Amino acid sequence: MAGTRAPEDAYTAEPFVPQGAGLDALREAAAGCRGCPLHREATQTVFGAGNAHGRVLLVGEQPGDQEDRQGAPFVGPAGKVLTRALDEAGIEPADAYVTNAVKHFKFEVVPERGKRRIHKSPSLREMTACRPWLEAELRLVGPEVIVALGATAGKALLGPSFRVTRQRGTLLPFPGHEELGECLIATVHPSAVLRADDREAVFEGLVSDLRIAAEALR
Ligand code: URA
Ligand code: SF4
């Protein structure tokens, strides 16, 4: 039916984000977000989780297959890598709040691969639509250090020209939040470890970037 669909540039979570709400109320409201089309195919919204006053806030890309089914971030294979890396870097998982730039799983079903749901990267428009949730989480958690895990989170937080190879492992100002000082650090996504030929080297790189975050907390 003509006229019932919002124009694509109107994708935004904004009207779904309750003003003045705490994290639990936000999580509840996010469950009903229809701010972009990704909610249609995914099982559920996967909101951030962890320490509501975490000193470190980690931002991934979007929930994966397991996260979509279980409703919590980083509970699948990438989450195992992340937990191990945090531990080696000296960051207590209990000190951290973990979330994603986009809160619904974007995927395509590939019939030749047994109908497996294959991850698709979110578009800039979807990342922008979902941003109000991330902003609200950042405001309420109030972390000392923010870690962008991989290229999508890096682009979401540092802008579309972000390149992980160029900008990883160093404390950077957070664009739009300069009052926080150099509080942002980017690194590879934990799933890059799982895809790498030399897993150990990529894992060590992740740990060494997370150590910079850990040092910033001292
Ligand atoms: N990858 C992400 O970026 N986030 C998750 O929550 C899981 C996998
Ligand atoms: Fe809302 Fe984000 Fe889900 Fe889009 S991806 S529907 S903006 S929660």
pLDDT value of residue 115: 81
Residue 186's nearest CA partner among 158, 215, 161, 144 is 158
Average per-residue pLDDT for the chain? 95
Of all protein residues, the one whose alpha carbon is nearest to atom 7 of ligand 2 is 130
Residues 192 and 186: their CA atoms lie apart, in Å, by 14
Q: How many CB atoms lie within 10 A of CB 122?
A: 25
Go through the domains of the chain in sequence order and give each one's CATH number: 21-216 (3.40.470.10)
Query: What's the 98 CA to ligand 2 centre distance in angstroms?
Result: 17
**Once rounded to an integer, what is the mean pLDDT over residues 22-43?**
98
Residues in the chain: 218
Predicted confidence (pLDDT) per residue in 43-53, tens digit: 999 999 999 99
Predicted confidence (pLDDT) per residue in 78-102, tens digit: 999 999 999 999 999 899 999 999 9
Please give the DSSP secondary-structure letter assigned to residue 71: T
Kindly identify the ligand whose nearest atom is closest to the C-alpha of 61. 1
